[in-house]
């Protein structure tokens, strides 16, 4: 991507791969309200969106087309339904140099550790946990097989915290499943203590910049993606983590539909680079990426 700071290779490190199985859960939830002859088409009409087909590789290629159109180099895509590993694997295998596959896991379900090991062995690079949705604390012992499998494989554990919502549920008028008692970033304290050799976490701004995320960053030697120096030895941030994979910058997250979210990413980069001369942002020279400071 061309910016005022020169050419950048950009990695988007948080986008959701909303597959056909993901949307089928809403067909089931709304089956009494949707047309009986083609409820999936009825759901698409209700949302006003083009919904994906069962061809997951084709959906992955659509993402790549949008990445090309908006000058993104690579993207982390997260299968957003527990048990939907096959969809993101198909997309990743169809575009292995562009898509980095993560999957969602509910560690409260039986066999979660084995599912984790199988998914990573199949080529996925990270797991997404959603404590507020599945109602557990990140420090609970039943999560530890997941952390251990990630540590052994050198994989990423991506955990959603903070004030959360799912736009598609709101659009469909479905109630929230979230229990915010399980959404505190400080729940990582025990996990970081018990996994000191892999204890890297990057609190990314996801709508709100929660003070508790910064507390975790300061006390646990985690790196805040929006500031330098808070993380001690790990202060280089997420871009440094991804350097071995090639990309030199990270941007937080487009959502479905594809084009709208990617346009927001592009606007974010353009606005960030434009502020480099007035002291309202910082340039991480080590990672080669321009980042906006929190709260600005």
More confident residue, 236 or 108: 108
Tell me, rounded to whole angstroms, the distance of Cα 213 from its chain centroid. Answer: 16
**Average pLDDT along the chain:** 75
User: Which tens digits make up the pLDDT trace of 130-148?
Assistant: 999 999 999 999 999 999 9
pLDDT winner (highest mean) among 174-178, 280-284, 290-294: 174-178
Whole-angstrom Cα distance, residue 209 to residue 221? 18
Whole-angstrom Cα distance, residue 30 to residue 149? 36
**Backbone CA torsion sign across 195, 230, 245, 12:** positive
Whole-model pTM: value is 0.70
Whole-angstrom Cα distance, residue 200 to residue 220? 9
For the domain made up of 9-201+212-223, give the CATH fold. Answer: TIM Barrel (3.20.20)
Domain-by-domain residue ranges, the chain? 9-201+212-223
pLDDT at 271: 59
pLDDT at residue 128 greater than cutoff 60: yes
pLDDT at 286: 34
β-strand partners of 12: 75, 251
pLDDT tier for residue 232 given thresholds of 50, 70 and 90: very low
pLDDT at 214: 42
Residue 73: C-alpha distances to residues 8, 46, 95, 127, 255 (Å): 9, 33, 12, 21, 17
pLDDT at 2: 78
More confident residue, 257 or 190: 190
User: Which tens digits make up the pLDDT trace of 29-75?
Assistant: 999 999 999 999 999 999 999 999 999 999 999 999 999 999 999 99
pLDDT tier for residue 261 given thresholds of 50, 70 and 90: low
Mean pLDDT of 204-229: 38
pLDDT at 204: 52
Mean pLDDT of 259-279: 53
pLDDT at 217: 39
**Backbone CA torsion sign across 4, 6, 11, 17:** positive
Whole-angstrom Cα distance, residue 262 to residue 156? 23
């Amino acid at each position: 991507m061309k910016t005022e700071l020169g050419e950048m290779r950009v990695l988007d490190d948080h986008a959701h791969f909303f597959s056909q199985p993901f949307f089928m859960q809403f067909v089931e939830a709304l089956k009494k309200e949707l047309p009986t002859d083609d409820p999936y088409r009825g759901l698409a009409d209700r949302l006003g969106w083009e919904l994906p087909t069962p061809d997951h590789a084709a959906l992955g290629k659509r993402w790549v087309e949008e990445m090309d159109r908006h000058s993104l180099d690579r993207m982390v895509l997260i299968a957003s339904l527990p048990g939907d590993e096959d969809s993101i694997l198909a997309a990743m295998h169809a575009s292995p140099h562009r898509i980095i596959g993560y999957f969602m896991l509910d560690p409260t379900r039986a066999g979660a550790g084995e599912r984790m090991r199988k998914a990573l062995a199949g080529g996925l690079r990270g797991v997404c946990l959603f404590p507020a949705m599945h109602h557990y604390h990140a420090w609970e012992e039943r999560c530890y097989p997941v952390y251990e499998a990630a540590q052994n494989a050198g994989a990423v554990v991506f955990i959603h915290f903070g004030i959360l919502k799912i736009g598609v549920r709101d659009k469909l008028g479905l109630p929230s499943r979230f229990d915010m008692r399980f959404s505190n970033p400080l729940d990582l304290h025990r996990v970081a203590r018990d996994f000191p050799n892999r204890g890297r976490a990057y609190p990314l701004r996801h709508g709100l910049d929660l003070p508790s995320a910064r507390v975790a960053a300061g006390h646990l030697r985690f790196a805040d993606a929006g500031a330098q120096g808070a993380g001690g030895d790990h202060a280089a941030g997420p871009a440094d983590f991804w350097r071995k994979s090639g990309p030199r910058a990270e941007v937080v997250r487009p959502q479905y539909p594809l084009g709208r979210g990617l346009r927001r990413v592009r606007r974010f980069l353009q606005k960030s680079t434009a502020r480099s001369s007035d002291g309202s942002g910082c340039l991480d020279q080590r990672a080669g990426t321009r980042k906006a400071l929190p709260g600005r």
